[in-house]
Structure 1
Amino acid sequence: MEQTLSRQEASEAVQNYGWRFLLGTLQTSVRVGSLAQATGVAADAVAVCGDDADRHLRVDVRPDRVVFTLQSSDRAAITTRDVELAHQISATADRSGLLTEPETGTGAPRSVQLVEIAIDALDIAGIRPFWKAVLGYTDEVGAEGPEDPLIDPVGQGPAIWFQQMDRARPQRNRIHFDICVPHDEAPRRIETALAAGGRLVSATRAPAFWVLADLEGNEACVTTWQGRDG
């Protein structure tokens, strides 16, 4: 029977197969040498998923990589079936001499990430319909309330979520980016951002998120799945 998994359960179930848990999805990136090879890798993954491909799998095919995303679309969550498919896709890639394990070390290319835009608001229910309309976004499955996040129905743009303010803060930017990265890549991402002129504003909620800012005070958060349960 297909069961929904917690963040911890989902992450641990795929960690050793090169997949990472990001914002309710499992993702991995496979490096390839050509678009022809990429389409072949994608086709192999679709084949191994069988009838479950349409409900669970999304594929981004590029000449240098293929990014796989797994999620049970009818639940907007990770289930035991998503984990099974991740293992099967990794095994299929391995038989082709390809790796789903992200590269590590200084200078290594980033593996996978998801970007969210956070909008500070005094009246979330009042501004949410505007952003939904102007972006052509929709509600996530099971999140249709007047203050819930919005998503791109075709998966091209970042998710939008709304942060409740208790008073106006004109001295601070009202829109900031949340960059959700694999939990084991967060320290490297923060280190490079600080080396590039950024500063650490707050780490009080780490490892759920670190607040960083550029030289002019514009903020961005590096986030992970950790530290959000309990």
Structure 2
Amino acid sequence: MPASFKDLCLDADDHQALADWWCRAMGYVRKDVHQPPKDDWARPAAWPVPIVDPAGVGPLIWVVPVPEKKTVKNRMHLDVVGDRDELVQLGATVVRRKDDDIEWDVLADPEGNEFCVFAPR
């Protein structure tokens, strides 16, 4: 086996704000994955932000600062189970609504990263 799954990474222009958005959208929390050298240590704001499912079910996601803006459709994306309208109220935009051809909605986060939303069953 040449590789095994580790984490997901999501590029962002404003990685702090996008990490907070995904935390609100999915109930994730920020996680300090490195032991601080001192009690008063704070993670530098320029570093990538790790967010995790507090229940330990979902994967760790790194929200990584990058200098370039998103310009084309994602080649890889997240699939989530959730409520389209609630995600739109949080700041997502609808890219494509479910229809006769697809059984899910395609949304974009505040930075334009597409993701698919499946209704809970």
TM-score (ref. length: structure 1): 0.24
The structure with higher relative contact order (CA 8 Å, sep 6+) is 2
Greater Cα radius of gyration, structure 1 or 2 = 1
TM-score (ref. length: structure 2): 0.42
